[in-house]
């Protein structure tokens, strides 16, 4: 989702490159990767907040400071501070309000965002707040990224807080069709009822569609049979992994977490031989240590040979936003 948010702003780092480079133990982050890291870490920061706590000026400024930290191309000359200059938005007919009224405009927005609404009105509230944030354009740079994180924070404290579940990160909705997203936002810039309603419909439809995808991904049988097993089959077919390794991965997929004794059928022989086979799986980023302890293992899905094909499989099944097509 962090890649999606950065891609909307013109960052062309692919999902797999981000996963691979973030998992590397060597090297430093360039500006493009740092932008993605900042968004991801800021989302984690939001996850640690009390979802019932009100959204404040200081929180919005903190989100901005974290999002643009140490960036050059997509940085801001005053991280964590509202703009003190008038600005224009590239390729947009909307002129943001003067910097003089940014603080009072943001006060009104935060009052609106924090207002208690019945559940059936909360999606409208969030959609309107997202548009108004971009409309105000409170920072010199980083407004799009921060607006999407702000929307994530709103989802946590409203709909998902009252339902007792984890919040849906809305980046996929915004990135599924960048042009449609920008067009829908701009259509509401005149603050007319027609434009605002069209934007709300775009936002709510996207959230609903993405929720259906996420519900499907919580079905272990579906994920196993339609997503991961085809990836493992293709790796074995292409000779990337051996038949024995494919068998070990299949067992790990079925059980979730395995230890050496669980793999005796595919790695026969002495315990030492089995340990060497498992060590090879770890070194090749096919297995990784599990939280249960150093001798417990699970499939490594986020890096190594599985990750690249997993991203392609997700794309085949329609889970990647269109902005990430062919990643």
Active-site amino acid positions: 137
Query: What is the rounded distance in angstroms from the CA atom of residue 234 to the CA atom of residue 232?
Result: 5
Q: Which two tokens stand for residue 265?
A: 């059928």
Q: How many CA atoms lie within 13 A of 320 on its CB side?
A: 20
Q: How many CA atoms lie within 13 A of 266 on its CB side?
A: 20
Between the alpha carbon of residue 272 and those of residues 240, 250, 259, 260, 278, the distances in Å are 24, 21, 13, 10, 10
Helix pair angle (193-216, 119-136), 10° resolution? 120
3-state secondary structure of 94: coil
Query: What is the rounded distance in angstroms from the CA atom of residue 160 to the CA atom of residue 272?
Result: 49
What lies within 8 Å, CB to CB, of 236 at 6+ separation is: 242, 243, 245, 246
Q: How far apart are the first and last CA of the chain?
A: 13
Angle at 83 between CA 79 and CA 84, to 5 degrees: 125
- The enclosing H or E element of 203 equals helix 193-216
- The enclosing H or E element of 295 equals strand 293-299
Q: What is the 3-state secondary structure (H, E, C) of 218-276?
A: CCHHHHHHHHHHHHHHHHHHCCCCCHHHHHHHHHHHHHCCECHHHHCCCCCCCHHHHHH
Q: Which two tokens stand for residue 207?
A: 């959230």
């Amino acid at each position: 989702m962090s890649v999606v948010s950065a891609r909307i702003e013109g960052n062309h780092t692919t999902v797999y490159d981000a996963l691979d480079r973030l998992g590397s133990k060597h090297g430093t982050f360039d500006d493009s990767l740092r932008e993605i890291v900042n968004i991801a870490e800021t989302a984690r920061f939001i996850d640690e907040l009390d979802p019932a706590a009100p959204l404040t000026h200081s929180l919005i400024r903190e989100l901005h400071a974290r999002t643009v930290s140490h960036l050059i191309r997509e940085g801001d000359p005053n991280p964590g501070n509202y703009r003190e200059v008038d600005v224009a938005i590239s390729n947009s007919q909307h002129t943001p309000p003067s910097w003089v009224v940014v603080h009072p405009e943001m006060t009104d927005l935060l009052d609106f965002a924090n207002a208690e609404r019945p559940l059936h009105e909360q999606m409208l509230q969030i959609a309107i707040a997202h548009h108004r944030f971009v409309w105000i354009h409170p920072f010199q740079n980083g407004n799009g990224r921060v607006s999407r994180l702000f929307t994530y924070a709103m989802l946590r404290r409203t709909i998902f807080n009252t339902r007792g579940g984890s919040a849906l990160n809305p980046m996929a909705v915004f990135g599924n069709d960048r042009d449609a997203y920008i067009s829908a936002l701009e259509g509401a810039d005149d603050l007319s009822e027609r434009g605002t309603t069209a934007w709300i419909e775009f936002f709510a439809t996207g959230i609903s569609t993405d929720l259906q995808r996420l519900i499907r991904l919580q079905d272990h049988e579906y994920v196993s049979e339609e997503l991961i097993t085809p990836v493992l089959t293709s790796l074995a077919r292409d000779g990337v992994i051996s038949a024995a390794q494919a068998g070990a991965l299949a067992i790990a997929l079925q059980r979730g977490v395995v230890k050496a004794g669980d793999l005796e059928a595919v790695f026969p022989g002495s315990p030492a031989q089995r340990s060497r086979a498992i060590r090879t799986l770890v070194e090749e980023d096919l297995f990784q240590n599990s939280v249960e302890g150093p001798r417990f293992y699970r499939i490594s899905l986020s890096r190594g040979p599985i990750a690249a094909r997993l991203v392609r499989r997700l794309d085949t099944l329609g889970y990647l936003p269109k902005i990430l097509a062919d990643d």
